[in-house]
Amino acid sequence: MKSEEQRVNDNVGKGAGKETKTISSVDKLPESEKVCNSKDAQITVGHHYLKVVEGVVRGIEEKVERVEADLAAVWSKRLSEEVRGNVLAAIGKARLLVSQKIQQFKGLCHKNIAGSAGEEFPTTNEDLAGFWDMVSIQVDEVNNLLKEIDTLRSNGWIEVTTVRARRKPAPRPARPATKSSNKSGTSKLKEEVR
């Protein structure tokens, strides 16, 4: 029976088409690519992103569950429609992000990990990085919405509005005076009739 190390070494040659790195020591990898703490490991960027996504999803789901529990506790109290709508919208955006975009990204990660040389359009590391950049923008937006909800909760579910100083509109430039002597013939007739 082969040891784990021998199986990993045997599989290294079979990874054609995948962007993998075989290392004898994790210390040889740049910090950004350290995914696995074991020696003689086969590492792909797909594995790295799956671990990142797992942490992000766990964090978002925990925040959403906490917000839903708090919302259920105060639902019978008088919440303004605007506050209730904002909270429900944030929860919906978080759930959509986790159920759709992040699931799509996980699929791409798995495709990157299991990619074969015969694929017409293999998922490259650059594809994953670009897609993650787009998804991470949405993750940041959802996290900001959930932070705003935390602020609402700490204020007793009352929205704090900040008053911004209104700027006076810029004065309109003066128009050059026009001469009224350019009246058309019908205008002159109307004036004469009066």
For residue 186, give Cα distances in angstroms to 126, 180, 181: 73, 14, 13
pLDDT at 131: 96
Q: Residue 31 in 3-state DSSP?
A: helix
The yes-or-no verdict on residue 46 having pLDDT over 80 is: yes
Query: For residue 8, what are the contacts with CB-CB under 8 A and spacing of at least 6?
Result: 40, 41, 42
Strand partners, 43: 21
Average pLDDT over residues 126-141: 96
| Consecutive H or E run containing 22 | strand 21-22
Where helices occur in the chain by DSSP H, the ranges are 4-12, 45-74, 81-96, 102-114, 125-154, 185-193
For residue 174, give Cα distances in angstroms to 49, 168, 178, 180, 182: 61, 17, 12, 18, 21
Reported pTM: 0.60
- pLDDT one-digit tens code per residue, 82-126: 888 999 999 999 999 999 999 999 999 999 998 777 788 888 899
- Highest average pLDDT, of 2-6, 111-115, 126-130, 186-190, comes from 126-130
- pLDDT one-digit tens code per residue, 7-20: 333 433 333 333 33
Rounded Cα distance, 125 and 146, in Å: 30
Please give the distance of CA 61 from its chain centroid, rounded to a whole number. 15
